Amino acid sequence: MPQRTEDLNVAALDVMPSPDEVKAKIPLTEAGANTVVKGRRTLEAILDGKDQRLFVVVGPCSIHDPVAGLDYARRLAKLSEELSDVFYVVMRVYFEKPRTSVGWKGFINDPFMDDSFRIDVGMEKARRFLLDVNELGVPAGTEALDPIAPQYYGDLVAWTAIGARTSESQTHREMSSGLSTPVGFKNGTDGEVDAAVNAILSASHPHSFLGVNGQGRSAVVRTRGNRYGHLVLRGGGGRPNFDTVSISLAEQALEKAKLARNIVVDCSHANSWKKPELQPLVMRDVVHQIREGNRSVVGLMIESFIEAGSQPIPADPSKLRYGCSVTDACVSWETTAEMLRSSAPILREVLRGRRRD
């Protein structure tokens, strides 16, 4: 017998339920489907310049407690209705967390936060949570990290982000070309926009690549291309990039690539130096730019939860503080509501007469 040459560093291969099996267990409902479809069509209209509102992707850095997450979603549903003439609100529902080195990789990977890594359980819980949020009438946005995961819950997502670490990845560009949602590509961790612009271009074209089908079998995925890619500015390289000069340079990069000048500003991450208390200042600056005539900013992102700040994951997860992030620090619910409510009167008249290229 020849020497063994594969799986030398693999401890086990645990069988996952197929995407179709998980969907059969937690099926898409009519109410959920209506929210998803309305969310996608509204976002497309904003990106096409037909809807003058701004969209805001707002919510926890990551979901770790579905109870607190749904509490937040209910609050967001009421606030969204109140400000619906100015903002189209999408809840940030992130289940996967890319790590610079090590750390908790998110609700799907380790739902019990005890290193048991019950991905099968996490996937079902994630789908259930997304369905619950959509049934409240709140569309959901998430980051696509694992290329197989969208097969399990992509039918419940209205907006997708590709992160700063993966915008350069061919795998994620190919995957984005087949996603059914608008996709926001974040600039690189160095703050440069070239990789994200190239990603938007790449994802707009058809691709063929290896993936899985609904039965969990390997398949060649052939895509049509996604025309709703757009740029997300999140700062990087030790500096923010939400200022007028940075946005102007981003507009020029998009125009040079013959892409729509659609820009979303992430108020968190390097744009606020990872200090949540600075997120309102970032938003205030961007609102001022729109009031002064900016026509390219179509959306904002805010990291927000019920309680401000963040907390480490304790050895006993039952000791976690309710409604407080376990990853990046967030602004509180009260601050979130104030950020949106104080911006609405300024933007209301401006957006009504705003002309988009």
pLDDT of residue 353: 84
Q: Which domains are assigned to the chain? A: 54-352 (3.20.20.70)
pLDDT tens digits along 247-290: 999 999 999 999 999 999 999 999 999 999 999 999 999 999 99
For residue 356, pLDDT beyond 80:
no
Q: Which residues contact 285 (CB under 8 A, 6 or more apart)?
A: 242, 243
pLDDT tens digits along 75-102: 999 999 999 999 999 999 999 977 666 7
Q: Which residues contact 44 (CB under 8 A, 6 or more apart)?
A: 182, 228
Strand-pair category, 229-233 with 183-186? parallel
Q: Average pLDDT in the 330-338 region?
A: 98
Helices 66-82 and 119-135 pack at an angle, to 10 degrees, of: 20
Q: Average pLDDT in the 300-315 region?
A: 97
Q: Average pLDDT in the 192-196 region?
A: 97
pLDDT of residue 357: 61
| Helix ranges (DSSP H) in the chain | 19-25, 30-47, 66-82, 119-135, 150-153, 170-178, 194-203, 244-256, 279-291, 333-352
For residue 162, pLDDT beyond 90:
yes
Radius of gyration of the chain (CA): 20
How close are the terminal C-alpha atoms of the chain, in Å? 67
CA distance 241 to 164: 14
pLDDT tens digits along 97-122: 776 667 899 999 999 999 999 999 99
Q: How far is residue 64 from each of residues 85, 138, 327, measured CA to CA in Å? A: 31, 19, 9
User: Vertex 188, ends 184 and 190: CA angle to 5°?
Assistant: 150
Strand-pair category, 229-233 with 263-266? parallel
User: Vertex 226, ends 176 and 184: CA angle to 5°?
Assistant: 60
pLDDT tens digits along 20-70: 999 999 999 999 999 999 999 999 999 999 999 999 999 999 999 999 999
Q: Average pLDDT in the 333-343 region?
A: 98
